[in-house]
Amino acid sequence: MGIDLHTGKFRSRVPDPFLSVLRCFGFSTIIRSMFRRLLNPLKSNSFMLFGARGVGKSTLVKSLLAESGRTLTVDLLDPVQFEQATLGIGELLARIESWGKNGGEWVFIDEVQKAPKLLDVAQKFIDQTQLKFILTGSSARKLKRGGANLLAGRAYTYRLYPFLAAELGEEFDLQQYLSFGGLPRVWGIESPEERTLYLRSYVSTYLKEEIAEEQVVRKLEPFAKFLQIAAQSSGKIVNFSNIARDVGVADHTVKTYFQILEDTLLGELLPAFSESVRKSQTQSPKFYFFDPGVLRALLRQVDQPLTDQNYNYGNLFEHFIVSELKRSAAYKARDFQFSFLRTANDQELDLVIDRPGHPRAVVEIKSTLNIRENDVAVTNRLGTDISGAKLYCLSRDPVRKQFGAVDAVYWSEGIKEIIV
């Protein structure tokens, strides 16, 4: 296998035309299911699976249960089943009870946040029968807001993300990923125009369904404006006051808006490094949207060709690397903590990763194809203040280099080494 250094695409020596043929005939669902997800929930116990809409939760669950054949599915996106689960709960209880008595093994409830009371139903059957439950959801906020029973101790909790590079394997293409992101539907679409339409629809659907229909915010207009501004500052230090002024709302409202994005799994705050290294360090967090394609759609750039000459390319590459590292750690069940460090004079370490049992990893991220000593000068200067840390620079440069204490390595190899 080789790697195209410009696109980052993994290439096999013998091209496999099978995926292209499937695409020609429109079998995008088959293509998505052929990619092996790295998340492997234990099937010995009930579990909850959270993830933003469109990351492939239902597809993963169905593939996990394909061998069983003993699964009762309750799809709350289906209007009939939703009505039964909310208005005809007695009939649903009878179905589940009968299912268990007749040898059923699993009950799969899809998008459980639409009917949070079903978590109480799940607890009852978990406690009193041998049935196991899988419950998926795209919004933890509605469950928390309603005081829902989150089945503590009865069901494990997992989170699914857009595709990782390792999950896409030989189909991975860095240029495509930075342009359109890692949502499974995107990788079943051949046309850039159709990918653009899908991502625009995804953003508008999120506003309509996750925010408006669930009444997460009272007024949709300021939140929509906030989304635009949050996208413009994605990957940068969050200034709540400035954003509040631009949106025309109070500071605490902006903090609530960011919490909404986290609870609906569309992004995460990255905290500042908590230990004192220099006399003056920034304490405000950064925010990263969960997918570069969705981010570009929010920025209204998704229809514009992306090259490494674009102003935003480096920022998108940083988003990609931060996400790959965090998600690889999550899928391997590593209890790592991620932060960044910036001093008062704007010198920055992109990531500081606390790895129990291993030295901390300090990571500089550069999108260049040719790393030079000057690119890692700040990392050499600041990183050595973090006692015992291993210093890395991850980039598109295929040649491994050593500059002082910094080990400069190709991004995919660096991720393998850091997420031990």
What's residue 245's pLDDT? 96
Residue 86: pLDDT above 60?
yes
Instruction: Examine the pLDDT at 56 and tell me if it is beyond 90.
Output: yes
- Tell me what percent of the residues of the chain surpass a pLDDT of 70: 86
**pLDDT value at 297 more than 60:** yes
Question: In the prediction, which pLDDT does 22 show?
Answer: 46
Q: Is 116 helix (H, G, I), strand (E, B) or coil?
A: coil
List CB contacts of 233: < 8 A, sequence separation 6 or more: 239, 243, 287
CA distances from 238 to 221, 245, 251, 271, 300 (A): 21, 13, 12, 10, 21
pLDDT digits (tens, 9 = 90+) for 114-130: 888 888 889 889 989 99
Sheet with 47-50: list strands edge to edge: 71-75, 106-110, 132-137, 47-50, 156-159
**Tokens representing 304?**
């514009």
Q: Is the pLDDT of residue 354 over 80?
A: yes
Q: For residue 414, is pLDDT > 80?
A: yes
DSSP 369: S
Q: Which of 1-5, 298-302, 321-325, 371-375 has the lowest mean pLDDT?
A: 1-5
Rounded CA-CA distance 322/350 in Å is 9
| More confident call, 8 vs 120 | 120
pLDDT value of position 34: 66
Domains, the chain, ranges and CATH? 47-159 (3.40.50.300), 326-418 (3.40.1350)
User: What percent of the chain is predicted at pLDDT more than 90?
Assistant: 62
Q: Is the pLDDT confidence value at 16 over 50?
A: no
Question: Per-residue confidence at 162, pLDDT binned at 50, 70, 90?
Answer: very high
Contact 292, 320 (CB under 8 A): yes
Residue 4 has pLDDT above 60, yes or no: no
CB 46 within 8 A of CB 200: no
Give the 3-state secondary structure of residue 238.
Answer: coil
Confidence of residue 310 (pLDDT cuts 50, 70, 90): confident
CA-to-CA distance for 358 and 389, rounded, in angstroms? 9
What band does 356 get if pLDDT is binned at 50, 70 and 90?
A: very high
Q: Per-residue confidence at 14, pLDDT binned at 50, 70, 90?
A: very low
* Dist CA 124 CA 122 (whole Å): 5
Q: Is the pLDDT of residue 2 over 50?
A: no
What pLDDT is recorded for position 360?
Answer: 97
Q: How large is the average pLDDT for residues 332-348?
A: 92
- pLDDT, tens digit, 9 for 90 and up, residues 190-219: 899 999 999 999 998 877 777 766 556 777
What's the CA gap between 285 and 411, in Å, rounded? 24
